[in-house]
Amino acid sequence: MLGESIFVLGERGFHLLFDAATISAAFGEDPGALRAAVIAHRSELESVLGEILGVDDTGAARCLIAALPPELRHVLVHLYFEILEARVQRRGGARH
C-alpha cells in the first residue's frame, strides 16, 4: 500500500504521483471549477483514491491518475498537498 510512504516522501519534497507540469497546472486552476469537479465526480474520486492507495507501486498509481480527466487530476493534486500541509503542521514543521 502506497499511502503512508507517498506522504512521508512528499513531506521531504519528493512528489511521486504527479509530474511538475500537472502540479503547476493544478495550482493554476480556478478554485470554483475544482469545487464543481468534486461535486460532479465525488464517487469517481473516492473510487480512484481507494485504487491509488491500494496499489503497491507508484508507476501503477501514476497510470491510474493519468487516465483521469485533467480536472480530476488537479483535484487530486490539491487534495494531496492539503494532506501534506496538515501532516507537516501537526508535526510543527514549516509549510512545504
Distances in whole angstroms, Cα of residue 58 to Cα of each of 30, 53, 62 = 28, 10, 6
Whether 43 is in a domain gets the answer yes
Whether 9 is in a domain gets the answer yes
Residue 95 φ then ψ, to 5°: -65, 145
Please report, rounded to a whole number, the percentage of residues in the chain having pLDDT higher than 90. 73
Whether 70 is in a domain gets the answer yes
| pLDDT at residue 1 greater than cutoff 90 | no
Place of cell 493554476: 28
Q: Which helix (H) or strand (E) holds 11?
A: helix 3-11
Q: Model's pTM, two decimal places?
A: 0.87
Q: How many domains are there within the chain?
A: 1
Q: Which helix (H) or strand (E) holds 70?
A: helix 70-90
Q: Mean pLDDT over all residues of the chain?
A: 90
Q: Which residues form the domain of 67?
A: 3-90
Whether 17 is in a domain gets the answer yes
Instruction: State the Cα torsion 37-89-1-45 to the nearest 10°.
Output: -10
